[in-house]
């Protein structure tokens, strides 16, 4: 079926949904409360399922061209603050890293967006066949449909992130009790970084000094990143998630991306799942006879999977920053890494 839709929010999920719906013949208007798309942003991992969805909506090639393939950046792994390798792995050939700003610009190309035009209550949208709530973690659309009981809840952790010039000697994550630090490539001459503390609330600037105080003695590329930090380029925020919703739809409204399933960042899947949401939503509606039928199919296909992903991401963060039992965890990871490295060596020796 076809119809007209209003997408509330011009982020990754909203723009993916808008492009996909337009491909299926829908008339789509995107309303974004910000004055413009962001010009900056850290790198986002694009896993194969998201790349397939980007291909479906016609921008996969452009995203790959704007991204760096992780396999081209060498090895990465999990390490202790002292630099001891727990698990050392080669680059993942299926993962691409693209900056948020570049991804948004590609998704927005050719999409009709009205900026500085937020929607406070979708019930006031008359004559619309479909409303797509893509207004993020603190979604007003979600609150209207499901109430305050499903407001975003804190994860009890805070994060810093950014990009620094140049490459580093090693990529991957460093895990410690109550803290973690990760580094990924962001192109041939830049590195993406993120840090997390198991702590509530947020911290006041200067953030650079606080990061130096907490992570300044860590090895494996961490000090290289810290030495290049500029205070004004550091992003800092508290981490939240959305509790499991009873449905991703209500009436003629569908929720996508963080509005539906905001999750902890520890699996790096939030942006991927938002893109897939948009592609699946449009496909379900395109194959349905009515909006209600299409929305029911979308909910069946996406809710269970993304809610399981959110639970896994939360558990991964707890594993990374666990305060008790981390010695045993490190021993298990180290043993697994040793077996894996031996296996890789044997594989390379085969004719």
Q: In this structure, what token pair is assigned to residue 253?
A: 């409204």
Task: Specify if 351 maps to a domain.
Answer: no
Q: Are 242 and 262 in contact (CB under 8 A)?
A: yes
> Which residue in the block uniquely carries the two structure tokens 């800092």?
236
Give the CATH number of the domain where residue 202 resides.
3.50.50.60
Q: What are phi and psi of 159, to 5 degrees?
A: -135, 150
Domain-located, residue 23: yes
Distances (CA, A) of 120 to 140, 248, 250: 7, 19, 17
Which pLDDT score is estimated for 344? 44
Q: What is the pLDDT of residues 233-281, one digit of tens each?
A: 999 999 999 999 999 999 999 999 999 999 999 999 999 999 999 999 9
Q: Which residues, in sequence order, are CB contacts of 220 under 8 Å at separation 6+?
A: 79, 83, 169, 170, 172, 174
Lateral strand order in the sheet of 130-133: 113-114, 27-31, 4-8, 130-133, 253-255, 249-250
What average pLDDT is seen over the chain?
91
279 token code pair: 């592609």
Task: For 1-40, write each residue's pLDDT tens digit.
Answer: 899 999 999 999 999 999 999 999 999 999 999 999 998 8
Residue 98 falls inside a structural domain: yes
341 falls within a domain: no
Q: Measured between alpha carbons, how far is 259 from 261 in angstroms, rounded to an integer? A: 6
| Per-residue CA distances from 283 to 7, 56, 109, 179, 304 (Å) | 16, 10, 21, 41, 18
Burial class of 301 by CB neighbour count within 10 A (0 to 12, 13 to 18, 19+):
middle
Percent pLDDT > 90 in the chain is 78
Measure the CA–CA gap between 267 and 305, rounded to whole angstroms: 14
In a domain, 347, yes or no: no
What is the rounded distance in angstroms from the CA atom of residue 351 to the CA atom of residue 340? Answer: 19
Question: For the stretch 106-131, what's the b/e string if a residue is b when 16 or more beta carbons lie within 10 angstroms of its beta carbon?
Answer: bbbeebebeeeeebeebeebeeebbb
Is 344 contained in some domain? no
Cβ 277 vs Cβ 302: under 8 Å: yes
Who wins on pLDDT, 93 or 328? 328
Over 90: is that where the pLDDT of 291 sits?
yes
Residue 194: φ, ψ to 5° = -150, 145
At residue 86, the pLDDT reads: 87
pLDDT at 93 over 80: no
Strand 96-99 with 68-69, pairing: antiparallel
Is 104 within a domain?
A: yes
Q: Which range of residues forms the domain containing residue 87?
A: 4-327
In angstroms and rounded to an integer, the radius of gyration of the C-alpha atoms of the chain is 21
- pLDDT digits over 128-187, tens only? 999 999 999 999 999 999 999 999 999 999 999 999 999 998 889 999 999 999 999 887
Q: Give me the pLDDT at residue 350, please.
A: 34
Domains identified in the chain, total number: 1
Contact call for residues 158 and 196 (beta carbons, < 8 A)? yes
Any domain includes 30: yes
pLDDT at 126: 84
pLDDT at 321 over 50: yes
Spell out where the chain has E strands. Answer: 4-8, 27-31, 43-46, 68-69, 76-79, 85-89, 96-99, 113-114, 130-133, 153-165, 171-176, 179-185, 190-197, 235-241, 249-250, 253-255
């Amino acid at each position: 079926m076809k119809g007209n839709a209003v997408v509330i929010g011009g982020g990754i999920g909203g723009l993916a949904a808008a492009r996909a719906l337009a491909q299926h013949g829908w008339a789509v208007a995107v309303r974004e409360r910000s004055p413009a798309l962001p010009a900056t942003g850290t790198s986002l991992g694009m896993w194969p399922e998201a790349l397939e969805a980007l291909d479906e909506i016609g921008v996969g090639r452009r995203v790959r061209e704007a991204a760096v393939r992780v396999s081209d950046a060498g090895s990465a792994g999990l390490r202790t603050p002292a630099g001891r390798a727990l698990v050392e792995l080669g680059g993942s050939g299926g993962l691409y890293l693209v900056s948020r700003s570049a991804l948004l610009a590609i998704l927005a190309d050719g999409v009709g967006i009205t900026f500085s035009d937020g929607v406070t209550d979708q019930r006031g949208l008359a004559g619309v066949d479909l409303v797509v709530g893509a207004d993020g973690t603190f979604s007003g659309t979600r609150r209207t449909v499901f109430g305050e009981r499903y407001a975003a809840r804190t994860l009890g952790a805070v994060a810093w992130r950014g990009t620094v010039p140049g490459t580093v000697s090693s990529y991957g994550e460093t895990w410690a009790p109550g803290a973690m630090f990760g580094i990924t490539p962001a192109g041939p001459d830049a590195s993406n970084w993120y840090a997390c503390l198991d702590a509530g609330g947020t911290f006041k600037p200067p953030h650079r000094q606080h990061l130096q105080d907490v992570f300044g003695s860590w090895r494996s590329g961490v000090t290289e990143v810290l030495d290049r930090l500029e205070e004004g380029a550091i992003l800092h925020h508290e981490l939240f998630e959305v509790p499991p919703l009873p449905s991703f739809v209500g009436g003629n409204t569908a929720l996508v991306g963080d509005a539906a399933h905001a999750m902890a960042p520890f699996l790096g899947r939030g942006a991927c799942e938002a893109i897939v949401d948009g592609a699946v939503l449009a496909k379900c509606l395109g194959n349905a006879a009515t909006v209600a039928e299409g929305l029911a199919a979308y909910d069946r296909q996406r809710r269970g999977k993304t809610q399981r992903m959110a639970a896994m991401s939360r558990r991964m963060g707890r594993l990374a920053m666990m305060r008790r039992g981390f010695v045993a965890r490190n021993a298990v990871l180290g043993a697994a890494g040793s077996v894996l490295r031996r296996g890789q060596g044997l594989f390379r020796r085969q004719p």
